[in-house]
Structure formats: C-alpha cells, structure tokens
C-alpha cells in the first residue's frame, strides 16, 4: 500500500499537478509492481518563502515521502526512487537533481488498510 506525499513549490498549473499525480502513480506501479488500487499520492504545496535549499531561499525542490509495507528489496526501492524523480521531472520540469525521496518501511502491524484493519490482519 504505497502512500506518497510529494512536496512541491506553489505555482504549478492544474495540468502540471494532474500530470504529477498520474505520473507518480504510474511510477509506483511500474517500479515496484504495486497494484494500482493500492497507490495513494497527495501533493503538498509549499510557498517559496518557506523553503531554503543549500542556503538559497525559495530554491525549486521536491520531496517525496513514501510509506511502504516492509519487505521490498534494495533494488526495488532504488527503482522506485529513480522512477519518482523521473515522474517529477516529466510532470513539472524540475530536474531530478532537485528531487529527494524518503522511504519509510512500515511493519504490517503499523499500516492501516481498507476496513480499518492493519495490513497484517488483512493478510498482507
């Protein structure tokens, strides 16, 4: 059940944000073979005045925080990181050099799924 929160700077068009949501979803499906109905992506927009990167106020950046049920290989995680960075570049034109990803492996006992059950209780 991949859950992705992607922080981007404010100011992107509705079309760019729609493309970002769709491209990030597909990146997850393609890179780690997650079932499409399980993928969640949320955009969080941040004002430029609230960001500093390398000492530069308002520098364009993106940060993807990904919640995954534990158990994926290092290779799958690397593929996911690359796919998400490429999805950001394709969607909003931000270089992959300015994209960061944090993967949070979550035990099945600590991830809630449909029906208000833990992933473990749901047999995942």
CA-to-CA distance for 84 and 21, rounded, in angstroms?
11
Q: Cα-flanking dihedrals φ and ψ of residue 115, to 5°?
A: 85, 5
Encode burial over 106-118: b for 16+ CB neighbours within 10 A, e otherwise: bebeebebeeeee
Question: Would you state the pLDDT for residue 124?
Answer: 83
**CA-closest candidate to residue 63, choices 8, 4, 2, 3:** 8
Question: Would you state the pLDDT for residue 115?
Answer: 86
Domain boundaries, the chain: 3-118
Question: Would you state the pLDDT for residue 42?
Answer: 98
- What's the CATH class of domain 3-118? alpha beta
List the chain pLDDT tens, one digit each, 124 residues: 799 999 999 999 999 999 999 999 999 999 999 999 999 999 999 999 999 999 999 999 999 999 999 999 999 999 999 999 999 999 999 999 999 999 999 999 998 888 888 888 888 8
Question: Would you state the pLDDT for residue 98?
Answer: 96
Whole-prediction pTM? 0.92
Asked whether the beta carbons of 9 and 98 are under 8 A apart, the reply is: no
Question: Would you state the pLDDT for residue 58?
Answer: 92
Asked whether the beta carbons of 109 and 120 are under 8 A apart, the reply is: yes
Question: Would you state the pLDDT for residue 1?
Answer: 78
Question: Would you state the pLDDT for residue 15?
Answer: 98
Is residue 7 exposed (0-12), middle (13-18) or buried (19+ Cβ within 10 Å)?
Answer: middle
Catalytic residue list contains 47: no
């Amino acid at each position: 059940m991949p859950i992705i929160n992607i922080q981007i700077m404010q100011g992107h068009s509705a079309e760019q944000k729609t493309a970002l949501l769709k491209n990030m979803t597909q990146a997850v499906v393609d890179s780690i073979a997650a079932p499409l109905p399980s993928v969640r992506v949320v955009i969080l927009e941040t004002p430029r005045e609230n960001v500093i990167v390398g000492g530069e106020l308002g520098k364009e950046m993106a940060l993807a925080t990904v919640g995954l049920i534990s158990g994926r290989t290092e290779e799958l995680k690397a593929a996911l990181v690359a796919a998400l960075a490429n999805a950001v570049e394709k969607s909003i034109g931000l270089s992959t050099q300015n994209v960061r990803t944090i993967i949070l492996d979550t035990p099945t006992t600590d991830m809630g799924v449909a029906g208000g059950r833990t992933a473990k209780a749901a047999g995942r």
